[in-house]
Structure 1
């Protein structure tokens, strides 16, 4: 019988033995991890891994003490939050699925729309075809104020607090002049649609929320020839805005907000809720002002004297109550900070 001398064993055999041992350990460890993970329902890593990856690469690392995109420990938020759908439209992501296009055209019942692809091609000859997103440097904490138009802003004295954010998002016809103490003076991004359009200064980014192909045609016209003067209402034929800062709210993202966050309530989301969702997906910390009713239960705009106003709350277009409840839930989960005013 031959006696093996382990000290004189050929090197190749030693390498094979070590390789086999490493592989065995690796396989055993992997089996243990999978066994533990799938036996413990509290671990949601595998379920939400792709969304975590999308969030990391699209927003970068967050330097805030607590960041919105952190999904761990909150299955409800992780189930609703999907950052793989970009909020703003570019030439590259402008192609809509057939289902999305049909749903989008249904929103305001556009019966004979122009050719969408041709309109988009013309659009991106007028405005930038790429989006420069908010600063995504890993050592930056991007703070955002989303300023709604609720009457609860009147007398709130939130102006300085609003202006202290890196980005201030406003919407529709909400004025700042004459209301600076309550609503602030700065605006970095302003959401509007043709029927709610106002002129902007040269430093503010206009974010068009399109509900139909005609809305895209309107922004082209409003920045150039001024030929479109009517949609379903009379609209501004020309608008003052920096065309290099014009952005388009992505219809695919709009549909995602409606289905995932509002779960089909109302006909489509309000501009205020769309502004909030834009901030939740692009900012690290979000402060919300001017949402909901005032202290007396009135739903009106802060510049209006008619406290019984409150467009769309009960018309079936927007479900203001449901949107507000989702907003409150985001606050309860410490994803946003909400200031309720007076």
Structure 2
């Protein structure tokens, strides 16, 4: 009798184990969802949040970079993007893009999100509040250090660091970058793309809506172009069209939210006296410039901070 009870108990145990295993298979989170929702960091941007505000705005399906697979624009996106153009000269978009990809890489670069990755990113603005901040070492510890327009590092290393992995710019803010830095073009018009081609080839474009550099030093194999749909997404979804177009800095922040696991921002907003100026400018702290066009963007940044999606270092 005891032997019979022993085998019956073993049978029931085996049946229960099989049922639990089947339930685990049924309710297991798909691999894709895990990779999109988790990472190896303590806190990850992609983790689910209780914030309705963030969940409605954050859309990973919007691809930040232009590629040969996604360059065709819908009518509404092209109409929006065309509306941003200050210069009336219009090239053929399709022909220009085909020329772009004959010169520059056609890679998304950052489609490697996984639970094993913890990519830390610092987005560096150009605010005067970086002066005397001593953030340099902290900034350089990040995996990606994304800088904006012409913000220099030489002579300011103690406050802004020396490392640069990405430089966001547009023709009117162009500067040379070293061979290891990604040049990320923020195109607000077809002519911006034409300028990029010209800067690496004929060097014949000297003016957009103002005079621009005819060439820049950069690694052709490390060139990226923001997608017009991504620019629209940032402008109309995140900024609610409160600005005429999104700043390069804010584009860089939302880009970082798409490709990084943890995001820190430095050098945004006014200084401790309420002045808006660049850390590399000689501006008196006694000068008050009043409301700045980036105030709504900064308010959005602070909301992201309150949602624990970015860290904001205010400087001085």
- Aligned equivalent of 2:313: 339
Question: 2:174 maps to what in 1?
Answer: 197
Find out whether 1:112 has 2:89 as its counterpart.
Answer: yes
Aligned to 2:273: 296
CA 1:134 to 1:205, structure 2 compared with 1: closer, same or farther past 3 Å?
farther
Pair 53,305 (structure 1): closer, same or farther in 2 beyond 3 Å: farther
1:143 to 2:117 alignment: no
Q: Distance in 2 between matches of 1:121 and 1:185?
A: 35
- Which residue is 1:78 aligned to? 55
User: Which shifted more, 224-233 or 149-158?
Assistant: 224-233
Checking the alignment, whether the CA contact within 8 Å between 2:34 and 2:115 is kept in structure 1 is: no
CA RMSD of superposed structures (Å): 2.5
Q: Higher RCO, 1 or 2 (CA under 8 Å, sep at least 6)?
A: 2
Q: CA deviation at 1:72?
A: 3.2
How far is the alpha carbon of 1:306 from its aligned partner? 2.3
The structure having more radius of gyration, on CA atoms, is 1
Cα 1:54–1:261 shift into 2, 3 Å: farther
Give TM-score, length-normalised by structure 1: 0.80
Question: 1:170 matched to which residue of 2?
Answer: 147
SS in 1 for 2:271: coil
- Find the counterpart in structure 1 of residue 105 from structure 2: 128
Once the 2 structures are TM-superposed, how far is the Cα of residue 134 of structure 1 from its aligned partner? 7.0
Tell me how far apart the structure 2 counterparts of residues 71 and 188 of structure 1 sit (CA, whole Å): 28
Matches of 2:191 and 2:262, distance apart in 1: 34
Helix, strand or coil at the partner of 2:274:
coil
Residues of 2 paired with 1:54 and 1:112: CA distance?
Answer: 44
Q: Do the aligned partners of 2:38 and 2:47 also contact (CA within 8 Å) in 1? A: no
Partner of 2:295: 321
CA contact (8 A) 2:122 2:146 kept: yes
> Once the 2 structures are TM-superposed, how far is the Cα of residue 170 of structure 1 from its aligned partner?
0.3
Displacement, 1:310? 7.1
CA spacing shift, 1:54–1:340, aligned 2, 3 Å: farther
Q: Displacement, 1:280?
A: 1.0
How far is 1:268 from its partner? 0.7
Following superposition, the deviation at residue 153 of structure 1 comes to 0.2
Q: Secondary structure at the match of 1:169?
A: strand
3-state SS, counterpart of residue 165 of structure 1 = coil
Q: For 1:241, what is the secondary structure of its paired residue?
A: coil
Partner of 1:302: helix, strand, or coil? Answer: coil
Aligned counterpart, 2:243: 266
Matched, 1:239 2:216: yes
2:8 paired residue number? none
Query: d(CA) in 2 for partners of 1:309 and 1:199?
Result: 32
Instruction: Name the counterpart of 1:100.
Output: 77
Change (3 A) 1:218 1:323: same
CA distance in 1, matches of 2:179, 2:255: 22
Q: Deviation of residue 121 (structure 1)? A: 0.3
How big is the shift at 1:70? 1.4
Which consecutive aligned stretches of 4+ in structure 1 deviate over 2 angstroms post-superposition?
52-57, 108-112, 134-138, 306-311
Q: For the residues of structure 2 that align with 1:336 and 1:55, how far apart are their CA atoms?
A: 22
Matches of 1:245 and 1:54 in 2, distance apart? 28
Cα distance, 1:108 vs structure 2: 2.8
Counterpart Cα distance in 2 of 1:270 and 1:81:
18
Q: Does structure 1 residue 254 correspond to structure 2 residue 231?
A: yes
2:162 matched residue in structure 1: 185
Gaps of 5+ in 1: 1-21, 27-48
Q: Deviations over 1:282-323 (max 9, x none)?
A: 111011100000000000000001245979x65xxxx41110
Would the aligned equivalents of 2:87 and 2:209 in 1 still touch at CA under 8 Å? no
Equivalent of 1:63, from 40, 49, 56? Answer: 40
* Structure 2 unaligned residues grouped into runs of 5+: 1-18, 24-28
Q: Which whole-Å CA distance do the structure 1 matches of 2:89 and 2:163 have between them?
A: 39
